[in-house]
Amino acid sequence: MTRPGPPVGRAARGTGSLLVDNIGELVTNVADGDGPLGLRRDAALLVEDGQVVWTGPARDAPAADRRIDAEGGAVLPGFVDSHAHLVFAGDRAAEFAARMAGQPYTGGGIRTTVGATRAATDDELRATVRRLRGEAMRQGTTTLEIKSGYGLTVADEARSLRIAAEVSEDTTFLGAHVVPTEYADRPDDYVGLVCGPMLAAAAPYARWIDVFCERGAFDVDHARAILACGQAVGLGARVHANQLGPGPGVRLGVELGAASVDHCTHLTDADVDALASTSVDWTSGAVTTTVATLLPGAEFSTRSPYPDARRLLDAGVTVALATDCNPGSSYTSSMPFCVALAVREMRMTPAEAVWAATAGGARALRRDDVGVLRPGARADLMILDAPSHLHLAYRPGVPLIRRVLHHGVPQ
């Protein structure tokens, strides 16, 4: 699969070596450390040319041109938020207030955002994307997938992805978000548009294709056709599946070898079995794993029951956590908030939640250069104002991210 070039703002190369030392707890996500997070204590980490080149005991740390003192804080890989919708205009605060007053969430509000997005200028959309990208970065997110899906015309989907690609390597064509109002009585025609001219215009700016496979959005036949068209031009598949009720989306994702099926709130035993059957050892090189990406911000913001993370984990399914940042059903860019929700509301252990928000997200994007801190990985990391990763869930809502390095450069 091809990967788009580096986003604008990427660090300049050749800035010398940088040592991060006095690390109280280093989360590596490398199996030879302690536990699933590969914890090391009293550690140091050396960065050169935007990459990690060494990790080890602080007493063995090599000399470097520059130094950052972690002051005994924990250092973790940057969060990998593998599911976000950042290209939009307007907000839906009134819809949120109505929902909190008792109105159910139906997904229909997406069309409100589509109208506002179509009416916005490129610069207005760009400003929103960059504002949210910065917001996420300050909360430790160094890799951020961005979807289109609020344009739903050929030109508006293409420009959404063009703007997203300015700040992200992982951009996703979501022309199949909902059927826009002007196609309401002829969904087959809209699917033809998505698979034809819209895909052709979007594909140069996209790495992935996604579809909202749900009652009220796209049925399984339409979803299969759309994902297959995208795969035929080299895009990887992802699916919005089983959010609002049971359905065929998860099994469709597994059938097509999707990198991830996202939401997974309403699952049958057959869905869990299908996901578990794909969860082979990543280190074997198999790329057929379909990750279950859980988006607890959506359940929080729609006051809905949370996905059963324990059932998935106990079945051996690879689980990721992501924000689903969007103006309707989950307007948060905060991965620490999602980690806290996963621990408190979904009974994940703090270690499982941190892994899912870092290494799990990387697997959901089929990347091995992020979500891990080992020689050769991208030097994307965060330094906490706390001695341990446990504090991310233990101290919810507290700004614990003291520093973020992206491509080895302090942000």
State the binding string over 147-176 for Zn ion (x if CB under 5 A, else -): ------------------------------
- For the chain, how big is the Rg over CA atoms in Å? 20
Residue nearer to Zn ion on the CB measure, 21 or 324: 324
Binding segment for Zn ion (CB under 5 A), chosen from 30-38, 158-166, 318-326, 351-359, is 318-326
Nearest to 85 by CA among 361, 293, 335, 322: 322
Residue nearer to Zn ion on the CB measure, 25 or 324: 324
Kindly tell me the burial class for residue 282, based on how many C-beta atoms sit within 10 Å of its own C-beta (0-12, 13-18, 19 or more): middle
Binding segment for Zn ion (CB under 5 A), chosen from 277-285, 286-294, 320-328, 337-345, is 320-328
In sequence order, which ranges of 75-206 are alpha helices (DSSP H)? 93-100, 110-119, 122-138, 154-164, 187-193, 199-202
Residue nearer to Zn ion on the CB measure, 263 or 406: 263
Nearest to 148 by CA among 121, 118, 119, 123: 118
Shortest gap between Cβ of 332 and Zn ion (angstroms)?
A: 13
Binding segment for Zn ion (CB under 5 A), chosen from 109-117, 164-172, 224-232, 324-332, is 324-332
Name the residue whose CB lies closest to Zn ion. Answer: 324
Residue nearer to Zn ion on the CB measure, 48 or 324: 324
How many residues in the shown chain lie near Zn ion by CB under 5 A? 1
Residue nearer to Zn ion on the CB measure, 20 or 84: 84
Q: Long-range contacts made by residues 285-291, C-beta under 8 angstroms, separation at least 24?
A: 287/366, 288/257, 289/259, 289/318, 289/363, 290/253, 290/254, 290/257, 290/258, 290/259, 290/260, 290/261, 291/259, 291/260, 291/261, 291/317, 291/318, 291/319, 291/320, 291/360, 291/363, 291/364
Give the total residue count for the chain.
411
176 forms beta bridges with: 211
Shortest gap between Cβ of 335 and Zn ion (angstroms)?
A: 15
> Is residue 81 close enough to count as binding Zn ion by CB under 5 A?
no
Residue nearer to Zn ion on the CB measure, 13 or 303: 303
> Is residue 324 close enough to count as binding Zn ion by CB under 5 A?
yes
Binding segment for Zn ion (CB under 5 A), chosen from 31-39, 48-56, 317-325, 390-398, is 317-325
Binding residues (CB under 5 A) for Zn ion: these are 324
